[in-house]
Amino acid sequence: MILAQALQQSARIFSHNGIEDSHLEARVLVQHVLGVSPAQVHTQTEQALSQEQVKTLRGLIDRRLRREPAAYIIGHKEFYGVDYCVDSRVLIPRPETELLVEKGLEYGRSRADYLWSLKRPVLIADVGTGCGAIAISLALNLPQSRVYAMDISFSALEVARLNCEHHCVSEQIRLLQGDLLEPLPEPVDLIVANLPYIRNSALANLSPEITDFEPRLAIDGGPSGLSQIRRLLQQVEERICPGGCLLFEIAHKQDQGVTSLINRYLRKARPEFMPDLSGVKRVVRVGF
C-alpha cells in the first residue's frame, strides 16, 4: 500500500463510521505512523508503507473508531504554535483557549517594564494547568515572568512536568499541587484559569471522545457549571497584587451567571468579556 491509498482508505473508514473531519483525522494518523511532516504527506504520496506500518495504522484506526481522540492516540497536541505531550491524565488543550494566552500576554507585556524597574518579574498563577499549555505559552513568550502552574490532579502535574522539561522552562515554572489558589505561596500579578465549566447535567450530551476519555475532573463544573469558578472568585482578592489582573475562560451563555458572581464576591470589579473567533464570550477579564 502507498501513502495516498492509506490516506484514502482511512478517511473512507472514518467517514463511514461517523467520525467527523475524516480526511484530517486520517492524515494525522498516517503522518504519525510514517513519521512524516504535514507537508510531506502531500508530496510523498507514492511512499510505500511496510507491512509493519500497515498493521500499526490499522491498530490506530481501530482505537479512533472506539472514539479515542487522535491527540491521545498520537500522544501530542499543538497549542499556541508549540507541541505538548498529552494523554488521558490531562484535558487536550483547545484552540479557543489560545485567547486566554493572548490576553495574558497582553497584560504581562503591559506590566513587565514597570515591574522590572522594581527589580521583579511578572508573577503569574495558572490555575488548573492540566498539561501546562497555558503556563508554558506564557513563560515562553514572556521571559520576564515567573509562573506558578497549579492543579489538584497529581497525575496531570506529571504530564505538565514532562512538558516543562521538553520546553526548557522548568526553572521559570513552579508546579504546585492543591485546590485552586490554596498552594500559592505569594500574591501574583496575573491569575489565569481554565477551570472545568460544563454543567454536570450536560455532560451526557458531550461526544464520547470527551466523556469516555478526558478526565472528568477537567470538565465537570458541578450543577451550575460555575462551581469551581465561584470558589476561585471567593479566593482571588487575597492572592492578587494591586494593579493585578484575573483572566478566566467560560462557556457559551455563562456571562450573566459570571457577572452575578463577580458582583457578589468582587464588589468593586467590572468584568469585561472577550469573544473568541466564533463570537462566543469566551474570556473574562477583571482588573484589580
Residue 93 interacting with ligand SAM (CB under 6 A): yes
Cell numbers placing 99: 485567547
What 3-state class would DSSP assign to 109? helix
Site string for ligand SAM, 44-73 (x = CB under 6 A): ------------------------------
- Does 225 participate in binding ligand SAM (rule CB under 6 A)? no
**12-20, 54-62, 127-135, 274-282 -> range binding ligand SAM (CB under 6 A):** 127-135
Residues 188 to 217: which contact ligand SAM by CB under 6 A? 194-196, 217
163 sits near ligand SAM (criterion: CB under 6 A): no
Give the other-Cβ count within 10 Å of 8's Cβ.
Answer: 13
In order of 97, 216, 234, 259, the CA distances from 200 in angstroms are 21, 10, 21, 21
Instruction: Tell me which of 3, 133, 139, 142 binds ligand SAM, using CB under 6 A.
Output: 133
Range in contact with ligand SAM (rule: CB under 6 A) among 17-25, 53-61, 124-132, 252-260: 124-132
**156 in contact with ligand SAM (CB under 6 A):** yes
Phi, psi angle pair for 112, to nearest 5°: -60, -45
Give the residue with the Cβ less far from ligand SAM, 129 or 172. Answer: 129
Site string for ligand SAM, 7-36 (x = CB under 6 A): ------------------------------
Q: How many CB atoms lie within 10 A of CB 13?
A: 18
- Nearest C-alpha neighbor of 11 from the set 24, 3, 1: 24
137 binds ligand SAM (CB under 6 A): no
Cα 94 versus chain centre, distance? 5
Residue at grid coordinates 499541587:
177
Q: In 214-237, which positions are buried (b, 16+ CB within 10 angstroms) versus exposed (e)?
A: bbebbbbbbeebbbbbbebbebbb
Distance in angstroms (rounded) separating the CA atoms of residues 32 and 123:
38
Comparison of 156 and 240: residue with beta carbon closer to ligand SAM:
156
Show the binding pattern over residues 171-190: x = contacts ligand SAM (CB under 6 A), - = does not. Answer: --------xx----------
For ligand SAM, which residue of 121, 128, 225, 244 counts as binding (CB under 6 A)? 128
CB neighbours of 209 closer than 8 A, spacing ≥ 6? 67, 68, 69
- Does position 129 interact with ligand SAM (CB under 6 A)? The reply is yes
134 binds ligand SAM (CB under 6 A): yes
Output the CA torsion 272→254→244→96 (10° steps). Answer: -90
Helix (H, G, I), strand (E, B) or coil at 224: coil
Single residue of 26, 91, 139, 140 touching ligand SAM by CB under 6 A: 91
Q: Which of 97, 163, 172, 254 binds ligand SAM (CB under 6 A)?
A: 97
Q: Residue numbers of the site for ligand SAM (CB under 6 A)?
A: 90-91, 93, 97, 127-130, 133-134, 150-153, 156, 179-180, 194-196, 217-218, 228
